[in-house]
Structure 1
Amino acid sequence: MAKGGFPGGFNINNMIKQAQQMQEEIKKMQEELMQKTVEATVGGGMVKAVANGRKELVSIEINPAVVDKDDVETLEDLVLAAVNQALRNAEEMIASEMAKITGGLNIPGLF
């Protein structure tokens, strides 16, 4: 039997190498995701939120036409909707990139 081998052809050394390679790929992907952004626009373009691959909000743009001192609630709702959608978009981007590395295998704690 080969070193590190088990009956049935299972080789622990190969498994460790594959895990290390996946770790390196994940680290590289995490660095790349920090540079990528996603955005969400709501209210017909009145509010835009941009988030990065670390699920951080990086900018908000508000069209001055939506600013009404007598109706702050509408602006608040639009900002919340844009931010929440941008963060969901970031989650989807991360999941998509992770699936490329893990083959769709959900590994808890990676992000």
Structure 2
Amino acid sequence: MRGGGNMQNMMKQMQKMQKKMQEAQEELGKQTVEGTAGGGMVTVKVSGHKEVVDIAIKPEAVDPDDIEMLQDLVLAAVNDALKKADEMTNNTMGQFTKGLNLPF
């Protein structure tokens, strides 16, 4: 009979952890990180859910004769922001997976 109590206790702990993970995920969606390129000529904001929420391009980054450079800057800024969003997610969600070896 004692084993059943432990199992029930473990299930409660798992439910608590699930709720905390869900709250942490929601919180990540509200947070943003910035990626930049070209010394700040292009800035991209990304949410913790990896959604691009804002792109700012300074006028001096726009050269009609060199559209490729602008495309490269936007791409670099987006990738920088996504990398930072990954780091933020790993820092936030990592507390739940320590020792569990669960893939994200």
User: What TM-score do you get using the length of structure 1 for normalisation?
Assistant: 0.84
Q: Which runs of 4+ in 1 moved over 4 A?
A: none
**What percentage of residue pairs aligned between the two structures are identical?**
54
Q: Looking at secondary structure, tell me which structure has more helix per residue.
A: 2
Query: What is the distance in 2 between the residues matched to 1:108 and 1:45?
Result: 34
Aligned residues: 104
Deviation of 1:61 (Å): 0.5
Name which of 44, 50, 59 aligns with 2:45: 50
1:52–1:58 Cα contact (<8 Å) kept: yes
* CA distances 1:64-102 after superposition (whole Å, capped 9, x unpaired): 001000000000000001001111111110111001233
Higher alpha-carbon Rg? 1
2:23 is aligned to: 28
Q: Greater RCO between the two (CA within 8 Å, min separation 6)?
A: 2
2:4 is aligned to: 4
1:40–1:83 Cα contact (<8 Å) kept: yes
- The 3 A distance-change label for structure 1 pair 106 and 89 is farther
Matches within 5 A, 1:34-73: 34-73=29-68
Name the amino acid aligned to 1:42: A
Over the aligned positions, Cα root-mean-square deviation in angstroms equals: 1.6
Deviation of 1:3 (Å): 4.4
User: What TM-score do you get using the length of structure 2 for normalisation?
Assistant: 0.90
Report the 3-state secondary structure (helix = DSSP H, G, I; strand = E; otherwise coil) of the residue aligned with 2:4: coil
